[in-house]
Structure 1
């Protein structure tokens, strides 16, 4: 039954065809498998059934002791506001309302001065991501865009549940949304400078001997850097005009090398940066969300194209100096945060390279802010957004703190930078999106189905799951469909 359930969860269509052939013993029907699949009741908030399932999966995969330590990755996806009735645990229930627990409800009553029901417009998903590669989405909550206090309460509930089932948490990873950034600062007396001074390592109330690192998702950071570049220019619609000591940095500097490469090398095979397309240079709102498109215009291949274009321009190529310096920093960060080679020491050269890249951005910030002739508004236009600069410090300093902490608590083990991001959560959202923004009932049922296939995939395709971490969420989903 377990084998059939795993096959059915991975690909129901293939299972149906296999069953209809009659070549093997009679296989259980899809309806019977549906009953087994729903044996673990899905409900908002901490769920002992999910924790037990997660614990049993870790034991079945023989996850080592250091693999039971890892991080909590969380993110929100939008859903359709809708009320639905379900039959669960011998009771008829209504789902689709905001349900973040008693504490969050009490906080809302105190804030609004009244008690009211609200339709859920988002789902907040929490996933455990072990240092050895084991990962499991263990908690989801229907929200109406969770605020920082809501996230704070839910996060520490999730933390307590994991510890009760034998897991340890040494970091939290999330994107740079406003509420997420406020949640981070709550652990440092609401002070961003205090977080930077502490290298984003804070006290862990559930495990006092294991500091908790708060870090922003590297993949979202690269998108934000790219978006700052797109907004920079001399045009009327440009909201920024980035200025480094070496000169201006505008998006036109990316457009010109791209057009030159296509004109000089009409054949796609002979192009210097053969991956680049119009989607990279003129992305729409949907394409701006794709991680891979952002990384492709900031990586070492783009740096190589810039240098080739500057050489072709001769003496007129000096206007690219500032952009080339930026790409020298971003290409290092992208290479190191997508590197699958394990980091076994806090003295790893990749950490030093990350620190030097951060120093370049910090020096740029200090030079602009120290100019007494400019107003505060002009200074802000010359720099990337304050949120982006803060997120960069959180990603780089936080990851370094995580490595140092790992070496203290589990000497001799390693950590993989390519796994420390929120791609795995976004991959689940991408699979959920097949319903075109499901309601909460559809999310719960689909989530159970995804979890079954997810567990099967981890046990049989370690190479595939590692590769999916390096891909954008949309491409990872597309790859899974092809493999099925």
Structure 2
């Protein structure tokens, strides 16, 4: 599992002899050919990429016509989300309780936070946009944005809920994932075949499209390999939040925001993270969803250092 960095894409090309889509993102272990492995893009990074593609989709920019997404001959632009945000607080009773200015006016820092991307692509956002659509004189303007949200909200529901394990290949979630994957493939084919529009301006980026396919098809392939006997898999935990949380603590809690700690710094900091620090870092983009490690003590050992965090202490597990 990786994010969409260029180095990781190069690594993926080394693992597959041809197009990985043709092999459903499954490759053979080069040391043990009877062992199959799956290459899966981190779905949380995919959500951020989809949101970023929408955020950069505008009918107009400072220099003239903008780059905008087009689905079924209707535009998908960030202005639709901005209008819904204003409508959300218009009556004093919000439809989407978690929507805030931070979700709409993005900064380089907020673009990295998983939860902000999830909350503008989930069912709450879908319900808000449908509610706003009913107040418009021309509701068809939002039809394509709503269709996109209908698909992204299903992905969010599957991969962001930690209490819905899958124990059988007959689970209805696989049908949902197949339909979502077909939606993105159909969207790509429609724009590619269009004479009037081009994928570079009217479609999400090719990297994002590939990552969506990897996340969905790769996960299904993993389930086909893994779901035998009494096994089960929880899609809500299929992400790299735990690793990013560890790195966030390494950089922010012990080493003075040092992005490249030495070996002498890294080892003792790991011990401090495991035994002496809260296991959740607010400095990583995984927020407070990632939880790992366990010690017999219910709170940090170094109490003098963490007096200010006394109210936030919580049990931890390994």
TM exceeding 0.5: yes
Does the aligned pair in 1 maintain the 2:112–2:285 contact within 8 Å? no
Higher helix residue share: 1
Task: Give 1 or 2 for the bigger CA radius of gyration.
Answer: 1
CA distance in 1, matches of 2:2, 2:117: 18
* 1:345 matches 2:172: no
* 1:389 matches 2:209: yes
Judging changes above 3 Å, is the alpha-carbon distance between structure 1 residues 386 and 301 closer, same or farther for their aligned structure 2 residues? same
Alignment of 1:231-310 (within 5 A): 231-236=56-61, 240-264=67-91, 266=92, 270-310=93-133
What is the count of residue pairs matched by the alignment? Answer: 287
CA distance in 1, matches of 2:21, 2:274: 36
Q: CA deviation at 1:352?
A: 1.1
Alignment of 1:121-140 (within 5 A): none
Higher strand residue share: 1
Q: Describe the SS at the equivalent of 2:89.
A: helix
* 1:418 matches 2:246: no
CA distance in 1, matches of 2:112, 2:240: 13
CA distance in 1, matches of 2:287, 2:248: 6
CA distance in 2, matches of 1:261, 1:420: 32
CA distance in 1, matches of 2:99, 2:88: 10
Of the three residues 140, 143, 146, the one matched with 1:321 is 143
Does the aligned pair in 1 maintain the 2:43–2:215 contact within 8 Å? yes
Uncovered stretches (5+) of structure 1, i.e. residues with no partner: 1-172, 458-464
Uncovered stretches (5+) of structure 2, i.e. residues with no partner: 293-298, 300-308
Does the aligned pair in 2 maintain the 1:427–1:476 contact within 8 Å? no
Q: CA deviation at 1:453?
A: 5.9
Does the aligned pair in 1 maintain the 2:242–2:291 contact within 8 Å? no
CA distance in 1, matches of 2:158, 2:195: 36
**1:299-326 per-position Cα deviation (integer Å, ceiling 9, x unaligned):** 000000000000122x422100000000
CA distance in 2, matches of 1:336, 1:216: 15
What is the match of residue 286 of structure 2? 473
* 1:211 matches 2:36: yes
Judging changes above 3 Å, is the alpha-carbon distance between structure 1 residues 364 and 477 closer, same or farther for their aligned structure 2 residues? closer
Q: CA deviation at 1:452?
A: 4.5
* 1:197 matches 2:22: yes
Return the TM-score normalized by structure 1: 0.56
What is the match of residue 365 of structure 1? 188
Q: CA deviation at 1:477?
A: 7.7
What is the match of residue 444 of structure 1? 267
Does the aligned pair in 2 maintain the 1:368–1:383 contact within 8 Å? yes
Q: CA deviation at 1:183?
A: 0.8
Q: Describe the SS at the equivalent of 1:473.
A: coil
